[in-house]
Amino acid sequence: MAFYHHRRKIGGLMKAIVFDLDGTLIDSAADIHLAGNKVLAAEGLPPVSFEQSRGFVGHGAGVLIERMIAAVGADPARHAAMLAQFLQHYETAVHQTTLYPNVQNALTALQKDGWALAICTNKPVAPTRAVLAHFGMLQMFPVIFGGDSLPTRKPDPAPLLATIAALGNLPALFVGDSEVDAETAHRAATPFALYTEGYRKTAVADLPHHAAFDDFAALPDIAAAWWSRRNP
C-alpha cells in the first residue's frame, strides 16, 4: 500500500480536514500537460492541447493516459508503456505548478486551530509528496492517500474512508474541487466543502456540498462554522 503516514503528528487532535490536491490546493494543469506531451512526442504522436489535457484530469494517471491515447488515436496496447513514461516525468513535474491564492496561510491557520490535515488524491503518492515538498508543505500532512494507495480510486469512497481511518476516525470535513470529489464525499457520507476555482465542469448548484468558497482565506471560518454546528 503506497501511502504516507506519521501517526505521532495526529495524537491529541480532535478534528480533521482532508484535501484533494490537483485543482484544490495546487494548479498543476501546466505540468500535467507538459508531462503528457513529452510521452506523446516520445511515441511519435501529436500533442494534445492544454484544454484537452486539463479536461482529462481527475480520475488518476491511468485514466489520463487512456484519454490522451483516445484523443490522438494511438494504439491502446501502448497504455502500460506510456503510463510508465508519464509517471517518470510526473514525479519531477513541479516547476509550472502553483498554489492557489491563500492556500499556505489557510493551512497554517487551520493547524493553529487544532485541525489534523490530510490528503486524499487520485495523483500517485510519489508525485504528490514531491509537489508538497516543493512547496515546503509535506510535513503539514501526516496522512496522504494517493491514486496508487488502494485498488480503487475516487469517486469510490474507499480512499477517503481509509484516509479518515488513518487519522484515527476523527470527525472530518473533505475539501475538493470537482465532480469526482463531490461524488466521493457523498458516497462516503462525509461533509464536503467545494473550492469553486479548480477543475470543475458542472455548475456549483448541481454538485452536492455543505459549503462552497472561491478563496482559501474563507476556509478557516467555514471549517470553524461546520465544527460549531456539529458540536453546539
Instruction: Name the residues annotated as catalytic.
Output: 20
Cβ count within 10 A of residue 158: 17
Find the Cα–Cα–Cα–Cα dihedral 142, 145, 146, 147, rounded to 10°. Answer: 180
Rounded Cα gap, residues 30 and 156, in angstroms:
27
For residue 51, with 0-12 CB atoms within 10 Å meaning exposed, 13-18 middle and 19 or more buried, which class applies? exposed
**Residue type at 64 in one-letter notation:** L
Rounded Cα gap, residues 223 and 32, in angstroms:
30
- Strand 143-145 and strand 26-27: the pairing is unpaired
Cross-strand pairs, 142: none
Rounded Cα gap, residues 226 and 66, in angstroms:
38
